[in-house]
């Protein structure tokens, strides 16, 4: 029977659309986590090259290598989330370990001395672009109830539509509504079935007005989020050195998205006249996607001291699939517990996401073998994000929200490295503007880094520590009638270890 329900779920989502601006932005914000040397300088490598992660900023960086090279990187991230929700404060800490990077670049000197092309390079690399592991808890006392979520979806719907027929199961009607009406009507059905809301006239099948069974007053609420997964990309790189002062390169990238998220919302009340005293609403989201992008870049030696770099990264064109599972439970002091648990996996129609393109200009000062200072400036226009579908799903509303709420941003990375014998000491700073016009939704992001490396000759070992902080408003149910949110301060400590080898 379970297989039958899964099959119904696949059919039922053919006209369902629940993606919003949060989803679009989440998959458009990709950052190269990179090698320890790269992170120790906060990623300011656009005019430098000579590092396997640098080719993700400027593909010409592979042509700077003098010999073939490979590296592998392990990273540990500790995330601290401090959530404030009305009078409540909670702090959660989580540590996650991943392979950030694995790759090699093969260098071929041109044996034809008369040619302007002095060297060719071929790079193959895997880079993690996002660690989706996240966890936080928020709790507090509010005067707004979750009933507004279900009421907003139900108003205007005929009672007959969200009421089960004789012999009809919860699974049957939930699947039918997804197929014919969409995600919002499914939410109205959940609320009605679990007695959160009721019809003004329960004896009239044409009734379109609804009231809450939760009395007004104060509500103790808790919202728990746990997400897992990671995003990454695989790169094929080609580069060349032209004469003695120009390097050029190109990347062809394939991307993947793996994101799983579970949210649990709890609400309790002792309000006089309330027929429902507790609500537990659980939502599970699973996202998988694949995409393609390309990059082009060049680095010029203007003088012995100055290098300039320029690069362009195309939009990433993703195909994304999502599925959800929902469960709603209520408790009444007088009537006991009601559980609505549709045994249905909602499979959303595959949709397309176009992320912003990126332009980067870079400059570096090279002080012989003693050290260097490097600066990158990148530009991205988040209003260019676009969702579309080959399955007839209309994303006009979401795309309009993107144009209204988002903006173009500047990203600045500054790094330095100084050498003493076989040792290298590094430091860096990064700044990224908020993609939202209202930076209270998501603040600017600041990052700081330090690191060191030791060159053993054939082998190299590098270590980096970097720290970032950012604040966001975490809306519990974006785009719904229940507008409550927590303010979350996120602090990340990253420890990165890279082992490299010349060959």
Give the HSE-up count for residue 101: Cα atoms under 13 Å, Cβ half-sphere.
Answer: 30
pLDDT grade for 32, boundaries at 50, 70 and 90:
confident
Task: Express as a percent the part of the chain with pLDDT over 70.
Answer: 96
Determine the distance from the C-alpha atom of residue 61 to the mean position of all C-alpha atoms in its chain, rounded to a whole number. Answer: 27
Quick: pLDDT tens for 470-492: 999 999 998 889 999 999 999 99
d(CA 125, CA 34): 11
Instruction: Quote the CA–CA distance of 461 and 453 in Å, as a whole number.
Output: 6
Q: Are 193 and 170 in contact (CB under 8 A)?
A: yes
User: Which residue, chain included where needed, has tokens 């696949």?
Assistant: 10
409-468 pLDDT, tens per residue?
Answer: 999 999 999 999 999 999 999 999 999 999 999 999 999 999 999 999 999 999 999 999
Residue 188: pLDDT above 90? yes
> Which two tokens mark 414?
């500054």
Instruction: Flag whether pLDDT at 36 surpasses 90.
Output: yes
- Could you tell me the pLDDT band of residue 18, with boundaries at 50, 70 and 90? low
* Position 391 confidence tier, pLDDT thresholds 50, 70, 90: confident
Model confidence at 265, pLDDT cuts 50, 70, 90, reads very high
> Does residue 78 sit in helix, strand or coil?
strand
Residue 283 has pLDDT above 90, yes or no: yes
Locate 451 and state its tokens.
């690191």
In a 3-state reduction of DSSP, which class is residue 268? Answer: strand
186 pLDDT more than 50? yes
Beta strands in 271-383 (DSSP E): 278-301, 306-313, 317-332, 336-340, 346-347, 351-354, 358-367, 371-381
Q: How far apart (Å, rounded) are the C-alpha atoms in residues 93 and 78?
A: 7
pLDDT band at 406 (very low <50, low <70, confident <90, very high): very high
Whether 128 has a pLDDT exceeding 70, the answer reads yes
**Neighbour tally for 460: CB within 10 Å:** 21
* CATH superfamily ID and name for 2-145+214-502: Outer membrane protein transport protein (OMPP1/FadL/TodX) (2.40.160.60)
Per-residue b or e along 19-44, where b marks 16 or more CB atoms closer than 10 Å to that residue's CB: bbbebbbbbbbbbbbbbbbbbbbbbb
CA 211 to centroid of chain Cα atoms: 37
Return the half-sphere exposure (C-beta side, CA atoms, 13 A cut-off) of residue 191: 28
The phi and psi torsions of 190 (rounded to 5 degrees) equal -60, -50
Residues 6+ apart with CB under 8 A from 380: 356, 357, 358, 408, 409, 411, 435
Percent helix, strand, coil in the chain, to 5, is 15, 55, 30
Asked if the model's pLDDT at residue 1 lies above 50, the reply is: no
**Judging by DSSP bridges, how do beta strands 351-354 and 371-381 pair with one another?**
unpaired
Is the pLDDT score of 340 beyond 50? yes
Determine the Cα–Cα distance for residues 28 and 58; give it in Å rounded to an integer.
Answer: 19
The pLDDT assigned to 2 comes to: 36
User: In the predicted model, what is the mean pLDDT of residues 141-155?
Assistant: 96
Give the pLDDT mean for 290-315: 97
The H-assigned helical ranges of 61-182 are 147-154, 170-180
By three-state DSSP, how is residue 234 classified? strand
Closest to 322 in 3D by CA, of 289, 287, 354, 297: 287
pLDDT at 202 over 60: yes
- Rounded Cα gap, residues 295 and 337, in angstroms: 56
Distance between CA atoms of residues 50 and 321, nearest Å: 37
pLDDT class of 363 with cuts at 50, 70, 90: very high
pLDDT for res 31: 81
Q: Is the pLDDT of residue 196 over 60?
A: yes
Contact between 257 and 27 (Cβ < 8 Å) = yes
Instruction: Name residues whose C-beta falls within 8 Å of residue 166's C-beta, 6 or more positions apart in sequence.
Output: none
Give the pLDDT of residue 10: 42
Calculate the average pLDDT of the chain.
93
Work out the average pLDDT over 352-360. 96
Report the pLDDT averaged over residues 368-387.
Answer: 96
Tokens 């939704």, residue? 441
Q: Find the length of the chain.
A: 503
Over 90: is that where the pLDDT of 295 sits? yes
Q: Is the pLDDT of residue 389 over 50?
A: yes
- Dihedral sign of CA atoms 20, 162, 169, 392 in order: negative
What average pLDDT does the segment 396-415 reach?
Answer: 95
């Amino acid at each position: 029977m379970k297989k039958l329900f899964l099959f119904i779920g696949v059919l039922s989502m053919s006209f369902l659309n629940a993606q919003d601006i949060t989803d679009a932005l989440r998959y458009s914000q990709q950052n190269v986590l990179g090698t320890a040397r790269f992170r120790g300088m906060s990623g300011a490598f656009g005019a430098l090259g000579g590092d396997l992660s640098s080719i993700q900023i400027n593909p010409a960086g592979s042509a700077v290598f003098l010999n073939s090279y490979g590296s592998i990187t392990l990273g540990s991230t500790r995330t601290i989330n401090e959530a404030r929700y009305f009078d409540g404060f909670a702090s959660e800490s989580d540590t996650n370990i991943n392979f950030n990077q694995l790759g090699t670049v093969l260098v071929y000197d041109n044996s034809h001395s008369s040619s302007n092309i002095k060297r060719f390079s071929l790079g193959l690399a895997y880079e993690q672009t996002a660690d989706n592991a996240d966890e936080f808890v928020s709790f507090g006392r509010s005067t707004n109830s979750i009933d507004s979520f279900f009421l907003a979806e139900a108003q205007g719907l005929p009672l007959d539509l969200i009421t089960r027929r004789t012999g009809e199961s919860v699974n049957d009607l939930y699947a039918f509504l997804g197929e014919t009406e969409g995600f919002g009507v499914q939410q109205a059905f959940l609320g009605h079935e679990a007695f959160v809301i009721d019809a003004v006239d329960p004896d009239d099948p044409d009734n379109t007005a609804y009231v809450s069974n939760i009395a007004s007053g104060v509500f103790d609420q808790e919202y728990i989020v746990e997400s897992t997964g990671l995003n990454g990309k695989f790169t094929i790189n080609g580069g060349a050195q032209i004469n003695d002062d120009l390097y050029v390169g190109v990347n062809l990238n394939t991307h993947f998205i793996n994101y799983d998220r579970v949210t649990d919302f709890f609400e309790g009340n002792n309000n006089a006249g309330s027929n429902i005293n507790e609500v537990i609403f659980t939502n599970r989201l699973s996202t998988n996607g694949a995409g393609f992008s390309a990059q082009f870049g060049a680095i010029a030696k203007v003088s012995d001291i100055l290098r300039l770099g320029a690069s362009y990264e195309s939009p990433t064109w993703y195909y994304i699939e999502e599925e959800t599972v929902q469960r709603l439970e209520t408790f009444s002091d007088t009537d006991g517990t009601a559980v609505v648990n549709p045994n249905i996996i909602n499979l959303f129609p595959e949709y397309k996401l176009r992320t912003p393109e990126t332009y980067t200009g870079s400059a570096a000062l090279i002080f012989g073998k003693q050290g260097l200072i490097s600066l990158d400036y990148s530009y991205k226009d988040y209003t260019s994000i676009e969702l579309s579908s080959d399955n007839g799903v209309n994303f006009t509303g979401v795309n309009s929200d993107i144009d209204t709420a988002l903006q173009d941003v500047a990203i600045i990375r500054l790094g330095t490295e100084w050498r003493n014998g076989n040792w290298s000491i590094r430091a860096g700073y990064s700044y990224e503007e908020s993609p939202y016009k209202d930076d209270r939704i998501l603040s600017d992001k600041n990052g700081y880094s330090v690191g060191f490396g030791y060159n053993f000759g054939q082998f190299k070992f590098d270590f980096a520590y970097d720290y970032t902080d950012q604040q966001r408003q975490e809306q519990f149910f974006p785009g719904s009638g229940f507008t409550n949110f927590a303010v979350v301060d996120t602090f990340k400590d990253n420890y990165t270890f890279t082992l490299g080898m010349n060959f």
